[in-house]
Amino acid sequence: MSTAVEKTDFKKALKHLYTPTPKGFVLAEVPEMQFIMVDGIGAPATSRPYVEALSWLYGVAYPIKFSSKTDLGRDYVVPPLEGLWWADDLNAFTSGDRDSWRWTMMIMQPEWVTDEMFDEGLAKASNKLGEPPMTLRLASFDEGLSVQILHIGSYADEAPTIARLQEEYLPANGLVENGHHHEIYLGDPRKVAPEKLKTILRQPVRRIEGPS
């Protein structure tokens, strides 16, 4: 008789990283983790590079998950989609020039996922999707000290919360930005109404050193 494989849900195992509330900003120490990543530029959700990036991320992530379960006896829920966002000209965000937005979309991978497992997953995805993006990779990412909050609502309504973070919370607490704006998508916009979407907004920070 086969034994059921226990399935890890990293949103529960790493609860402090995935359960901020919308009530206020909180600090979190984010450990180094590994991700499948792909870089690009263009409007989220609608531009071809963005849509293709997501197809590749999930196209590789699921074969890795199945390999982990069958070959290693370690099953898990595929973690949520995440994104790093920035622009060469920050006015691109305030002006709505979405075609100029730069991003790294990514899905976290368990520490036991190896380069060989990634290569196997990539090969399986390539059989369906063709030639992979040049930036598609398995890589470590270390954010360290970060501020985060849960945003409930459409992505277009995030701006006031981000402004409060930058203009009020960070200065009041002796912190400055130390990396790209980071979003973790807990809801699927294809299935959830915009006003009910849940997104973790995260900003890596560092403390301002006082006078010596």
Residues 8-44 have pLDDT tens digits of: 999 999 999 999 999 999 999 999 999 999 999 987 8
**What is the DSSP annotation of the chain?**
-PPPPPEE-HHHHTHHHH---TTS-EEEEEPPEEEEEEEEES-TTTSHHHHHHHHHHHHHHHHHHHHIIIIIS-EEPPPPEEEEEE-SSTHHHHTT-GGG-EEEEEEEE-TT--HHHHHHHHHHHHHHH-SPPTT-EEEEE--EEEEEEEEES-GGG-HHHHHHIIIIIHHHTTEEE-S-EEEEE-S-TTTS-GGG-EEEEEEEEEEPPPP-
**The model's pTM:** 0.91
Domains of the chain in sequence order? 1-32+143-212 (3.20.80.10), 33-141 (3.20.80.10)
Model confidence pLDDT, tens digit, residues 77-88:
999 999 999 887
